[in-house]
A and B are shown apart, each in its own frame.
Chain A
């Protein structure tokens, strides 16, 4: 969550939402959360576990470039 929050502060384009998976089972199901942390970007790029900053950024840019 740390990187996501810092990216949100860095760019007005970025929103970072921390979701408590057990309190929102419907969201956890919809996003197929089986391990945490699970990160979902623009509902299309997803990964589990922490990533170093360059890789996390790569995922963000991939998700953004996929945007219709």
Chain B
């Protein structure tokens, strides 16, 4: 059974008209774990989203337990997880199934990664360009 309703699909298709370039959604799953069912749902959700822009969005599914080097390279140590990659890896990650509010964030992140053009003020961009150290931002949320 599809996770996305017809209404969801129509809304996402409309948003995806803004896609500016190729995006890769890299899904990390872990089959032999307590999170296996969540991983399956996450993978299905990402595939359904990607199918709405098949010429632009590609999906790669990796196994956290097997593809360890790739996981380490992306800094992923849990599943389900999604890396949203555009022309480069911008550092956009989702841990857990992006349902509810996070679903819109996944769609927004996909569009953002497709252009690589941040919607920030010149002041913010200038300040970020001066960063000398890595910055890790975690945003905790719930589906509702």
Contact = CB atoms under 8 A, between A and B. Distances in A.
Contacts of A16: 91-93, 137, 139
Given A6-B119, A11-B129, A38-B140, A20 B96 contact: yes
Interface string B96-135: 1111001001001100110011111101110111011111
A9 B116 contact: yes
Nearest to B113: A9
A41 B137 contact: yes
B94 interface: yes
A19 B127 contact: no
Given A7-B118, A9-B116, 19 more contacts: A1-B102, A4-B139, A5-B109, A11-B128, A15-B137, A17-B94, A18-B93, A18-B102, A19-B140, A19-B141, A20-B95, A21-B140, A21-B142, A23-B80, A37-B141, A39-B137, A57-B127, A60-B135, A61-B127
30 contacts: A1-B102, A2-B108, A3-B120, A4-B139, A5-B92, A5-B105, A9-B86, A9-B92, A9-B116, A11-B135, A12-B91, A13-B128, A13-B132, A13-B135, A14-B135, A15-B75, A15-B93, A18-B94, A18-B105, A20-B99, A20-B141, A37-B139, A37-B141, A39-B138, A39-B139, A40-B138, A43-B136, A53-B121, A57-B128, A60-B128
Interface of B: 35, 38, 75, 78, 80, 86, 90-99, 102, 105, 108-109, 112-113, 116-121, 123-125, 127-129, 131-143
